[in-house]
Structure 1
């Protein structure tokens, strides 16, 4: 199975990655020649984000085991483009040592944090957002907290993002609790067996 994962990651990197890099270079040339074209600027940004996503996916596929410290470094790299804008994002690892986490946990957790951060950026109108990880002997506790506008937990929320998070939580045999109210920010707690 690991050989198949490596083959897929090579295909993604060598084939799709190379094509995306070519597209990005072409768009950059056009954008440089027409610097006032906002659609080209936007398309270039989307292409660069897609390349970044592809690199994250290849990294997640390639690993047989993840150290929590390496996971946090990759998470910071992924969120780096958001630094300096609102909300102000902080990532804190309060674990007492570097714990190993399985690939399925790392992949699902990475995608959950991505979704939660994207939701906060799009909807929360927050000033700060903190991702905190604390690993203990047999569990990893992750909280994602913002000081934004919050929402009514009793209101039915539409969208695939939260449904996908629920599926990922179940896949990890984890629990997820949400603490939010209108005008009170949102904090999401994940407890994941490791």
Structure 2
């Protein structure tokens, strides 16, 4: 029996250690996500001459609110559970054998509660941001901002309402920002057009500009295109490009909406 109790204590201590590592990983991952999104926002700000995009700043504010909420829950819920587990572990050897069995049982129960809470927090990392995002409103504001600056005229057509206000919609919005950034910085285009078409469980975006175009073979590994491809892969989408010098560029992007 004493061997069984020692085994339970060992498992409980190991669970505490693994949960601690998992929580550190979750926090680091969340901070990296915030950093990546802030860098994307900074790039759009510079490209559009520092013009404020209220929808983008609303996302950043939502991220900060979510980060604070996560920190509170880590401290109040998981932190409390881990502290209780440590207290049981510290007192285990000082108890009589008949009391150790009850303590071992409590260690197992608290470990399960801590594990459940850690899983719940990990699932919430990706859920909070989408609650504060609206694709159609964000795209309308972005389009208005670009057109107001006067260097490039954007037109939007089609099934914009079919783009989901989820992580996939956020990624598509970032892809559009990257496309506009490339058009402004490199294509020297006067106009660009986005057309959305709902195709069952897929949304298709065709983005065209009347800029100077580029050689696909020589420029297919450019940083801007690489960023776009990475984001498309993250949402299990696909992209086809058509461009040649002097004839503008066309990007056709398919993305699942579910």
Q: Name the TM-score class by shorter chain.
A: 0.5 to 0.7
Flag the structure with higher helix content.
Answer: 2
The answer on whether the counterparts of 1:148 and 1:183 sit within 8 Å (CA) in structure 2 is yes
1:107 aligns to what?
170
| Structure 2: runs of 5+ lacking an equivalent | 1-25, 35-45, 64-127
Q: 1:82 aligns with which of 133, 136, 146?
A: 146
How far apart, CA to CA, are the structure 2 residues paired with 1:88 and 1:124? 13
Contact 1:65 1:100 (8 Å CA) reproduced: no
Q: Do 1:75 and 1:110's aligned partners in 2 also have CA atoms closer than 8 Å? A: yes
Is 2:235 the counterpart of 1:172?
A: yes
Tell whether the 8 Å contact from 2:130 to 2:165 is kept in structure 1 after alignment. no
Counterpart secondary structure, 1:101: coil
Superposition map of 1:95-134 within 5 A: 95=159, 98-99=161-162, 101=164, 103-134=166-197
Structure 1 residues without counterparts, runs of 5 or longer = 13-41
Q: How many equivalent pairs are there?
A: 149
1:88-136 Cα distance to aligned partner (Å, 9 max, x none): 11111x23x9436262211110100000011101111112100111113
1:78: how far off? 2.1
TM-score (norm. length: structure 1): 0.65
Contact 1:125–1:148 (8 Å) recurs in 2: yes
In 2: Cα distance, 1:188 partner to 1:118 partner: 14
Cα distance between partner residues in 1 of 2:58 and 2:132: 17
Distance 1:104 1:52, change over 3 A: closer
Provide TM-score, normalisation by structure 2.
0.50
Secondary structure of the residue aligned to 1:154 is: helix
Q: Deviations over 1:139-194 (max 9, x none)?
A: 10001100110000010456432211111111111110011000000010001112
